A and B are shown apart, each in its own frame.
Chain A
Amino acid sequence: MKRWLLILLLPMVVGAQEDPGDGDVWSDDAWDDVAQSSRWSGFVEAGFGTRLDRDPLVSNRTTLEELRGRIESDWAPGRFAIKLRADGGYDGIDNDWFADVRDLTLSFTLGSDIDVKAGRQVQTWGTGDLVFLNDLFPKDFVSFFAGRDDEYLKAPSNALRISRFSSAVNIDVVWVPVFEPDNYLTGERFAFFSPAAGTTVAPDPPLSGVEPKESFSNGEFALRLYRTVEGREYALYAYRGFFKQPTALTASLEPTFAPLHAFGASLRRPAGIGLFNAEVSYYDSRDDRSGTDPRVPNDQFRALAGYEWEARTNFTVGLQYYLEWTLDHDALVANSPWPQYEPDEYRHLVTNRMTYRTDRDRFVWSWFTFLSPSDRDVHIRASLTYRYSDRWSLTGGVNGFGGRDAHTFFGQLEDASNAYLRVRYNR
């Protein structure tokens, strides 16, 4: 059964029809392409990924097996702007078709200094590199670990975003009426650790957290105040909503999302030969401020410091240190039914990014390490992207996981280590 081979070849069939981008020379009408008020673009991508070892819990050895199409367009009727970006295709692991609208928004400007954007949208803020403190917009860890493009780490949510700009301070207010959790590990594609079972599990039906009832007060509210002064970027953040992973339990011991307030701040600025970033966030677990309720995660203080610089021509290095300090840790351990699986009071994480670009960015070699000396686990992301032309690109990579214990974030994924290949045809 070489279905994946067929999948990888399909974009070539699509792409073989015509390839005007590569053969064509200057011609005056090409300028006019862009003048049209709406245009369509997109891509077809085939992806295939497989575990390096079998996972006894998950029958599928493949971690990525999909043919994906993207359409993208925007229109500007009058004062409004409409944007669409949507994926659809077939997922060979789910054995099903999928459709995924990543952006469908209506934007307009009120007065001169207020931008409004309503609809389904991907949002990102904060200063971390693949580490998020005050960015509580949904993440898709399944895509991230399966070898999809990094863009899929950020999942869309249905939101209203109002931004006000002024020389004193810029303000972003985001309202997500219906709570949108992360795309967390469910046991479908990747097994995860269950403290109740004391081991990694891949339940059938897969894990599904009980989401908060839909109501105004159960919506998510996110706020950012920010300002850039002489190249230094300052920001303050606030969030009211829920933990994005089902780390709490309901009264009937089903996984659910605990209510959360978060407050934080960040700074990003040039320093020496590179860029320095620092960010802090206080997670106020609204239902367990004393830390005594074993069903609800404790308050946390999170801090990040990072530095990125170009170590030599076309070679960029980034280092980050990240701390998760679980407050009232004694109370957590004292009340926990499984204290051995509770997080350490201090979870330390260091990351390292190395990016090397060669042949005028045709080749991008990327290496990213997450390493936690306290959890004793590691996640390595290595990839090579070859941009053959404006139409064709090829990405291959490895996602490696390891850890001493099965109950840590990356340790639970040890059997999920995988290698993947993606072919994309852009249009």
Chain B
Amino acid sequence: MIRMLVSVALVAMIAFDARADVLTDPNEIVARANLAAYYAGADGSAEVRMLISDVQDRRQRRQFTVLRRDIADGGDQQFLVVFSQPSDVRGTVFLVDKHIDRDDDRWLYLPGLDLVKRISAGDKRTSFVGAHYFYEDVSGRRPTEDTHELIETTDTAYVLRHVPIDVGSVEFGSYVTWIDRETFLPMKIEYTNPAGRLYRRVEVLEVATFDGHPTVTVSRVSDLSSGGRTDMQFRYIQYDIGLPADVFAERSLRNPPREWLQRPTD
């Protein structure tokens, strides 16, 4: 009887806890969303493909494998992106050292010239390999670059509005995110230009859990002013595979690390 009472009390406490777990600090929500979206596991790998459609529905595709390693949760990260499609970019490799306290270091390997090209930091809100995604959508925007305001808490999502601190560095005036209250994944992001018109939307269409990490598997970005869009799919997702730091170096540009690019065999 006592055991049952204790159980009931425990259940009640958990339930109460869950309700108390409604966050109200927008900075904390953003920090957790940043971790959920970009820092799952200590490292990870996935195959990604993108279908880029313009307003006339002409389509291009990109396919690549991405390896990621976190140096610190919420902090510096390393990325290696190895392209396999289409044929004219196959063998192109992109290496990024993402920094929190300074500009990212980025290198691009062009196999035709055997050239390791360094890319200046520049504007990260430009097209990633011809897609409607920006570089910043792929590697993450620093939470400290915007101010965050919690404008609504629905049954499923925290709705936040973000305003850039350096207005001149970005093309948007503000954006609103719908962050899932359970997974903390940003499920929808809508960008408004400085004139107040909605012009860009990023939305998550499917989520699945891998190794305990809820992960976006299908997403879409729509250019609401031109009508184009890019669909992105993730497959062969793995976490905590033990990627060594030296995979993220010039060696991997000329000689991509095959053992880490292979698909999981299951």
Q: Which residues of A contact B (CB under 8 A)?
A: 21-26, 30-31, 33-35, 41-43, 72, 76, 81, 107, 109, 115, 117, 121-125, 149-151, 153-154, 163, 165, 167, 170, 226, 228, 231, 233, 268, 270, 273-275, 308-310, 312-314, 316, 357, 360-362, 387, 389-391, 393, 424, 426-427
Contacts of B120 in A (CB 8 A): 270, 273-275, 308-310, 316
B243 to A: closest C-beta gap in Å? 15
Interface check B258, CB cutoff 8 A: yes
Q: List the 5 closest pairs (A to B, CB-CB), nearest first.
A: A310-B122, A151-B112, A41-B87, A390-B86, A360-B127
Among B55-63, B137-145, B157-165, the stretch that binds chain A is: B55-63
- Closest residue to B257 on the A side, CB-wise? A109
> Roughly how many angstroms separate A233 CA and B97 CA in the complex, as a whole number?
13
Contact A21 B114 (CB under 8 A): no
Question: Which residues in B have some Cβ–Cβ distance to A below 8 Å?
Answer: 47, 49, 51-52, 58-61, 63, 84-88, 90, 97, 102-103, 105, 110, 112-116, 118, 120-123, 125-127, 129-132, 171, 228, 231, 233, 235, 246, 249-251, 254-255, 258, 263
Contact in complex: B87, A42 (CB < 8 Å) = yes
Question: Given the known A-B contacts A31-B49, A153-B113, are A170 and B123 also in contact in the complex, defined by CB atoms under 8 Å?
Answer: no
Q: In the complex the two chains form, what is the Cα distance from A239 to B250 in whole Å?
A: 21
A26-B51, A31-B49, A43-B88 known; A389+B60 contact, CB < 8 A: yes
User: Could you tell me the distance in whole angstroms from the C-beta of A173 to the nearest C-beta in chain B?
Assistant: 14
A360 to B50, CA, bound (A): 14
Q: How many Å lie between the Cα of A41 and that of B87 in the bound state?
A: 6
Q: Can you offer 10 A-B residue contacts whose CB atoms are under 8 A?
A: A21-B86, A26-B233, A33-B85, A115-B251, A151-B113, A154-B115, A170-B251, A228-B250, A310-B120, A389-B59
A43 touches B113 (CB 8 A): no
Chain B positions within 8 Å of A30 at CB level: 49
Instruction: Find out whether the CB atom of B87 lies under 8 angstroms from the CB atom of A360.
Output: no
- Among residues of A, the one whose C-beta sits closest to the C-beta of B245 is A167
Point out the residues of chain B lying under 8 angstroms from A43, CB to CB: 87-88
Give the distance in Å from the alpha carbon of A226 to the alpha carbon of B52 in the complex: 38
Taking a contact as CB atoms under 8 Å apart, the answer to whether B88 and A426 are in contact is: yes
Does the CB pair B127–A361 fall under 8 Å? yes
Across the two chains, which residue of chain A brings its CB closest to B121? Answer: A270
State whether B84 touches A165 (Cβ < 8 A): no
B127 neighbours in A (Cβ, 8 Å): 357, 360-361
Please indicate the chain B residues that have their CB under 8 angstroms from the CB of A167 in the complex: 246
In the complex, are the beta carbons of B105 and A231 less than 8 A apart?
yes
How distant is the Cα of A31 from the Cα of B131 in the complex, in angstroms? 19
Distance in angstroms from A131 CB to nearest chain B CB is 13
**Which residue in chain A gives the minimum CB-CB distance to B223?**
A360
With a cutoff of 8 Å between Cβ atoms, the chain A residues found around residue B258 in the complex are 76, 81
Complex-state Cα separation, A424 to B86, whole angstroms: 14
**Contacting residue for B231 out of A26, A154, A314, A424, CB 8 A:** A26
Set of chain A residues within 8 Å of B113, measured between Cβ atoms = 122, 124, 150-151, 153-154
From known contacts A31-B49, A165-B251, A360-B131, infer whether A390 and B122 are also in contact, taking CB-CB under 8 Å: no
Which residue of chain A is the closest to B61 with respect to CB atoms? A390
| Set of chain A residues within 8 Å of B246, measured between Cβ atoms | 165, 167
**B114 contacts A121, CB within 8 Å?**
yes
